Amino acid sequence: RYGDSAGGFCYQESAQLAAATRNRFVRWTTSGDAVELVEESLDVNLLNNAVRLRIQGCPFLPGGVHLCEVQSHLVVLLITGQTVHRLLLPHPARMYRSELITESQMQSVFTDIGKINFRDPSNYYVIPSVPGLASNSVASAAWLSSEGEALFALPSASGGIFVLKLPPHDAPGTVSVVELKQSSVMQRFLTGWMPTAIRGDCGPSDLPISLSVHCLDHDAFLFALCQDHKLRMWSYKDQMCLMVADLLEFMPVSRDLRLAAGTGHRLRLAFSQSLGLYLGVYMHAPKRGQFCVFQLVSTESNRYSLDHISSLFSSQETLVDFALTSAEIWALWHNEENQTVVKYINFEQNVAGQWNQVFVQPLPEEEVTVRHDQDPRETYLEYLFMPGRFTNAAIQKALQIFSQGTERHMDLTWDELKKEVTLAVESEFQGSVTEYECSPEEFWQLQVEFWSKFYACCLQYQEALSRPLALHLNPYTSMVCLLKKGSLSFLVPCSLVDHLYLLSNEHLLTEDDAAIFDDLEMSRDVVCLVQCLRLIGESISLEMAFIMEMACSRLQPPEKAAEQILEDLIANDTENVMEDIHSKLQEIRNPIHAIGVLIREMDYETDVDMERAHHLNMRMNLTQLYGSGTAVNVVCWGVCKIATIRFLICRDLLILQQLLLRLGDPMVLGGGQLFQSQQDLLHRTSPLLLSYYLIRWASQCLASDVPVDTLESNLQHLSVLELADTTALTPHKLVSGPQTIVELFFQEVARKHIISRLFLQPNASLAETSLNWPHLITAIVADFLPLLWPSNPGFLFPECLMGSCQYTQLQEYIRLLQPWCHVNMGSCCFMMGRCYLVMGEGHKALDCFCQAASEVGREEFLDRLIQPEEGEMVSTPRLQYYNKVLRLLDMVGLPELVIQLATLAIMESADDWRSQATLRTCIFKHHLDLGHNSEAYVALTQNPDPSRQLDCLRQLVVVLCERSQLQDLVEFPYVNLHNEVVGIIESHARAVDLMTHNYYELLYAFHIYRHNYRKAGTVMFEYGMRLGREVRTLRGLQKQGNCFLAAINCLRLIRPEYAWIVQPASGAVYERPGASPKRSHDGECTAVPSTCQIEILELEDLERECVLARIRLTLVQHDLSAAAVAGNSTPEETVALLVRAGLFDTAVTLCQTFKLPLTPIFEGLTFKCIKLQLGGEAAQAEAWDWLAANQLSALVTTKESSATDEAWRLLSSYLERYPSQNSLYHRCVINKLLAHGIPLPNWLINSYKRVDAAELLRLYLNYDLLEEAVDLVLEYVDAVLGKGHQYFGIEFPLSATAPMVWLPYTAIDQLLQALRESTANHYNVMLYQKLHDKMEDYQQKVSVATRDRLYRR
């Protein structure tokens, strides 16, 4: 098994701004027979970008992974101890042809690796046993020829190199093996498994320890650094050794070194188009090492030699890896303490051979200090899950070991992992506590024990995963990465101040002081000052450091904390650090000036607000530049590092300033008059320290996952404030690791601002198309810090937190900021208000919003908040602000707060009646919503805008009606609004359904309350009329009756001369506001009918209407089916309906009320009698219903009477009760009976004889009843003559003394004529004779009586 290894590959166009492979690279690590390949991008998040390949039983050679780029493919060449492999992947430029790539995610080059046939014989080959792979060398090289063949160079078991060649992937061919031997210029192809026949004698001295290849158009130069310390250069095409160089010539050597095999040597190549090929060789010797840099020089006769450029020495023991450029060497070591050491040197400019140190992220502390006032679980969890300290993988592996592998914890999110860890440690802890009771101290101690055990486990895995394997240097972008076993680190340039502070003292002494500042004296002062700070920093214990941390967290002045730390330092100064500091201070010529320079270097405060982002250029693909999670992480960790270091610098600087103040030495301070300057500097350092503390806190503060519904409601709030465009809001699912709020800010907002400022402004410093990582990352961080700087006028960071729903974090940010930062105070108050609003603390929110109002017009964020919309009325800035907040509170649903704020705003708007009207309307609306009717009414009356006042009034009426709070509505005084209220209620009354709303009753109550009885009566009468027309139901008729009664009551309360009302118009004439115009059949608007003549109704008219309504109700109660027609029927129609229903008494009452003839009643009753007489049992049973509804005169009889008898009796009683002129009712009854062929009952005949016998005779004649007519005439003549005269109503019969009598001669003549004409009937002849004789007899008697009468005269 070989050791683990790692490496990287950069695309050729990775530095081109417009390329598909921009900022993309592939890194790999091998471990045993597995290789992990990961494609990284700094611009977009790549999908399916990691793949793990395992070639069973074939361990990979260290460095045995080579990637080559051809036009359409990315070719991966793999070398194991037994085999070689070729994998073909599509080139990213082929996968995405589009010039515009706007997605934040993209498929990786490894997406389709599953489709590859790994067993395709044309793409792999088993290394032949002859010549065989050397066992004691792991060197390898692989490349693609210009024809597309895959070539693998490997150390031969017999010394020298053999090259395996796989034919092009798209062309048939056989695998060939060629051996490069120095002892012969002959070429020998060993194809397949053929044994070698001729071999020169060759010892293992030329065994390659390190191989590198440089490809030419049609050849490849193979460089082999051999264990005999010689560098050999081969031409693959000619299979010739072109050059041999003894490297021991370039280093001080001992005899032992020359004789020892050079197993630790390394070789690297660097090619530059302008400078040619550079070779970097690391020569390993015990306890030391040496780097030699050469340039390859060729002569005309195709001879090659090395030009020695530089030799550099290093004292570190174990070199892990090094990388070469045409100007620099980057080297990675492991020192004796097992720490990672990275250094670099510019071998062209650095004459002194001084390496520059790279400050590597240290491993987490070996132990976590838990104070007795802290909870062990919380302390350890906070330390373990602090972003950037432990990787997810390390914690997951530790968890698996700790819980003894019972569960597999895969792909847990940061929060889920935290829960699992807590559960695992707590359950382990609970399982070990055997005693039921233990003291708090023992419990605390046990907790610490178990948590420290888990922590040690995490530390072990973190250390293993952090083991460095290689350096990856991108020659195109100058980016350097540190490849570790389980992660990837990026190297970023360090600023001058941080560099001086971090650098160890021995380096500081050798720094070229003049390089720091132009002023040499000033440079020395600053270096001495930083050395003082380092002395202080190294002396500060954890407890002292904690004092400053707590002061910042608890908002206490840092100056006081610095003073306390200084006192502790002086009290505990066992190593005379104070004397060292004092002596160092003596070296500083002008300490005040030096401190000022240092503060200026660290201060990111700007006077102007940074311009808001331009729209990023799609053509240049700027939308994605440094937009991937990896890039975001690097930038934000760069910022976190700077903030952490500078917080310590500021802390130490504060302590040093307190020391200077305490010393008060005129020699040190430069004179007593500078005491004030020193105080000023102290007060400048304090905000600087707090700013860095805040940025460090934000860089380590995790962002919360936000549910989608919270995001949506937040988006609604932002749209009300018109701030929704500032951030692109997406819910983030954080899997690989947590996201801090600074990362969130950079990703969502800051990156666009920075990139647009760097590339798109006219004076942009980075407008070129080639990307340089050190320049760009420095520029980005330098532009990012001002955006985070608390005392700058820009307010993007808190705005982003608000937009991303990070309310808890935003509250803490503002809490840490408010006591000392006096910039954007109003904006901070506003943000705090928003947080309180979301947390449900509305009253606190209102206080914050009111505080923020005082800063409106002075701060950029608040100014942006109050920009008026198109068409919006422009008022004062503060009023616009109040308007926005009111809309926000309204949306959240806090009417009480809206009222409070609007009342406050009214005071501001004393001169602006339009704003006053808006605010009063707002107050009215919310009072009304809350049910504060009186307050709503007051707000309405105070509204200065009549049209709004009317709208509010309309709303008040409708809402109070809907809530049935009618008493309030009626009792409000409505000063100067009386007619408007009446108009509103009337229009509603006429526009809505009568049975579901009671606007008429409301209007009635309204008028009654004001003693306006006539209007109240008019309202109720109109209501009654409409009920009759529109609501034809029993309930409608009941209501109608009540309405008419109420109207009558109203008029009875008025003096008689005023007791009248105007007849209301019919429904169609009402002009309802907003009603659509009526149109004729051809679509034309019909003319509004001209107003009809006004009709006055008096009390009697109303009483008649009331009777009619009551009778209609009686009718409908008796017969519900009549409701549809009865509601609006005239008296005549109602009589007909009553008769049909059999309600004859009621019909008589109605006729008498409206002075109508009773004829229809008698006809109807007669018809019912006929039906009963002719009908059967069913008709009899039905008749009792309507008979019961009429008042029958009491009759005592022993015989049980039938319904028919009762009906006839009712008819008889009516004829007696209601006499008519000319016996009209008798005639109509008889007419009806005779018309139906019913024989007349005797009581009727007798009754009519008494009234009008002559008319009865005429009726008989009309209906051809000759016999009855004859009998009647005979009886009539007898009655006239005195026999039964009382039955015919004749008072005095024929006599000379009595008054004159008469007979209906015309009718009698007609009867005689009729009998005479029907001689065919013998009976008629007899009747004729009888009648004729009677008349003759009568004539004689009349003659006698006439004579007597004449005689008497």
User: How many Å apart are CA 226 and CA 246, to the nearest integer?
Assistant: 10
| Nearest alpha-carbon partner for 595 in 672, 674, 504 | 674
Tell me the pLDDT tens digit for each residue of 798-836.
999 998 889 999 999 999 998 999 999 999 999 999 999
| Mean pLDDT, rounded, for 13-39 | 91
List b or e across 1316-1336, with b for residues whose CB sees 16 or more CB atoms inside 10 angstroms. Answer: eeeeeeeebeebbeebeebbe
- CA–chain centroid gap for 1139, Å, is 72
| Residue for token pair 């908040």 | 865
DSSP three-state, residue 636: helix
Tell me the pLDDT tens digit for each residue of 950-995.
999 999 998 998 888 889 989 999 988 889 999 988 998 888 888 8
C-alpha torsion 449→454→460→464, nearest 10: -170
CB atoms under 10 Å from CB of 214, counted, come to 18
User: How many Å apart are CA 737 and CA 155, to the nearest integer?
Assistant: 43
526 sits in which H/E element: helix 520-539
- For the ranges 256-270, 863-877, 1131-1145, 1219-1233, the maximum mean pLDDT occurs at 1131-1145
DSSP three-state, residue 622: helix
Task: Provide the pLDDT confidence category of residue 666 given band limits of 50, 70 and 90.
Answer: low
Give the β-pairing of 150-155 and 60-69: unpaired
Tell me the pLDDT tens digit for each residue of 1309-1320.
888 888 888 877
Task: Provide the pLDDT confidence category of residue 857 given band limits of 50, 70 and 90.
Answer: confident
| pLDDT > 70? residue 498 | yes
pLDDT at position 1299: 76
Rg (CA), the chain: 58
Sort 1043 into a burial class: Cβ within 10 Å, 0-12 / 13-18 / 19+. Answer: buried
What angle, rounded to 10 degrees, do the helices at 629-663 and 591-602 form? 160
**DSSP track, 1023-1076:** HHHHHHHH--SHHHHHHHHHHHHHHHHHHHTS-GGG-EEEPPPPGGG---TTPP
| pLDDT > 70? residue 589 | yes
| Mean pLDDT, rounded, for 1091-1103 | 82
pLDDT at position 505: 66
| pLDDT > 60? residue 1090 | no
| pLDDT > 90? residue 721 | no
Q: Which residues contact 1130 (CB under 8 A, 6 or more apart)?
A: none
Q: Which residues contact 738 (CB under 8 A, 6 or more apart)?
A: 385, 387, 414, 702, 703
Which residues of 1063-1147 form beta strands (DSSP E)?
A: 1096-1098
Strand partners, 152: 142, 164
| pLDDT > 80? residue 763 | no
- What tokens does 787 get? 């955006």
List b or e across 153-173, with b for residues whose CB sees 16 or more CB atoms inside 10 angstroms. Answer: bbbbbbbbbbbbbbbebeeee
User: How many Å apart are CA 1332 and CA 1335, to the nearest integer?
Assistant: 5
Task: Provide the pLDDT confidence category of residue 1307 given band limits of 50, 70 and 90.
Answer: confident
| pLDDT > 60? residue 190 | no
Q: Is there a contact between 127 and 82 (Cβ–Cβ < 8 Å)? A: yes
CB atoms under 10 Å from CB of 1041, counted, come to 22
Q: Is there a contact between 519 and 427 (Cβ–Cβ < 8 Å)? A: no
Q: Is there a contact between 228 and 202 (Cβ–Cβ < 8 Å)? A: no
- Of 696 and 1134, the structure prediction assigns the larger pLDDT to 696
SS3 content of the chain, % helix, strand, coil (to 5): 50, 15, 35
415 sits in which H/E element: helix 414-432
pLDDT at position 340: 87
User: How many Å apart are CA 725 and CA 746, to the nearest integer?
Assistant: 16
| Nearest alpha-carbon partner for 800 in 734, 852, 750 | 750
Phi, psi of 761 (to 5 degrees): -75, 155
Phi, psi of 770 (to 5 degrees): -95, 135
Task: Provide the pLDDT confidence category of residue 1196 given band limits of 50, 70 and 90.
Answer: very low
Task: Provide the pLDDT confidence category of residue 617 given band limits of 50, 70 and 90.
Answer: low
Q: What percent of the chain has pLDDT over 90?
A: 35
CB atoms under 10 Å from CB of 944, counted, come to 13
DSSP three-state, residue 1215: helix
Q: How far is CA 1096 from CA 213, 871, 1029, 1048, 1100, in A?
A: 119, 53, 20, 14, 11
Q: Is there a contact between 755 and 761 (Cβ–Cβ < 8 Å)? A: no
List b or e across 1114-1131, with b for residues whose CB sees 16 or more CB atoms inside 10 angstroms. Answer: bbbebbeebbebbbebeb
Tell me the pLDDT tens digit for each residue of 139-183.
999 999 988 899 999 999 888 899 999 999 888 888 999 988 765
510 sits in which H/E element: helix 505-510
Looking at residue 830, its amino acid is F
pLDDT at position 655: 94
Strand partners, 883: none
In this structure, is the dihedral angle defined by the CA atoms of residues 1286, 1288, 1290 and 1291, taken in order, positive or negative? positive
Task: Provide the pLDDT confidence category of residue 1047 given band limits of 50, 70 and 90.
Answer: very high
List b or e across 385-396, with b for residues whose CB sees 16 or more CB atoms inside 10 angstroms. Answer: bebbbbbbebbb
Task: Provide the pLDDT confidence category of residue 435 given band limits of 50, 70 and 90.
Answer: low
Q: Is there a contact between 208 and 139 (Cβ–Cβ < 8 Å)? A: yes
Q: Find the distance separating the first CA and the last CA of the chain, reported in whole Å.
A: 176
637 sits in which H/E element: helix 629-663
C-alpha torsion 236→241→243→244, nearest 10: 130
